[in-house]
Amino acid sequence: MSRIGKHPVLVPAGVTAEVDGHTVKISGPKGTLERTFTPSTTLALEDGQITVGLIDGVADSNAQQGLTRTLINNMVVGVSEGFEKKLEMTGVGYRVVLRGSDLDLSLGYSHPILYKAPENITFEVPDNTHITIKGISKEQVGQVAAEIRKIRPPEPYKGKGIHYEGEHIRRKLGKAAK
């Protein structure tokens, strides 16, 4: 069993943290994140460290401790360093163009697809087949990457579609000739 919830979250220099009951607000050079957690754990800010404690008699307190600690750590990393996900497009004629802050995707459909950038998310397009998604919330960056990938997921026969950088696509052989 993992004991990650017992370790305190260190708040680095340049990042400020406020704990008010079950609400945590983290501010840093990249922005501000705020989140309210379930009352099945206790939160305390002491000496630049946020600790997550257990409450006796609460059934899911042990499970929530590790989750709460990890979410707070992701908030601290997000406002200080930020998160990014990279996507690749494979297929003849598949391309992406950055239009302002939005993505214009050509994926073999009869029409181009315009994906609007959500708040606190920025896109970078180093070339016409790669997309970099950046933001301060790990949850939001992952959700946007999954939504873009869902537009044209990779298919197993030719490997065409949108996939994460470094993702291995399991290929199928196709119809065997007699």
Tokens of 116: 């609007």
Question: Which pLDDT tens digit goes with each residue over 71-117?
Answer: 999 999 999 999 999 999 998 999 999 999 999 999 989 999 999 99
Over residues 127-156, the mean pLDDT reads 95
Cα angle, residue 176 at apex, residues 173 and 178 outer, rounded to 5°: 165
Long-range own/partner contacts, residues 32-36 (CB < 8 A, 24 or more apart) = 32/79, 33/75, 33/78, 33/79, 33/136, 33/137, 35/71, 35/75
How high is the mean pLDDT of the chain? 91
Tokens of 154: 């990779």
Q: For residue 55, what pLDDT is reported?
A: 83
pLDDT confidence tier of residue 137, bands split at 50, 70 and 90: very high
pLDDT confidence tier of residue 3, bands split at 50, 70 and 90: confident
- Which structural domains are found in the chain, ordered by start? 4-80 (3.90.930.12), 83-164 (3.90.930.12)
What is the CB-side half-sphere exposure of residue 117 using CA atoms within 13 A?
18
Give the whole-angstrom CA distance, residue 104 versus residue 113.
Answer: 6
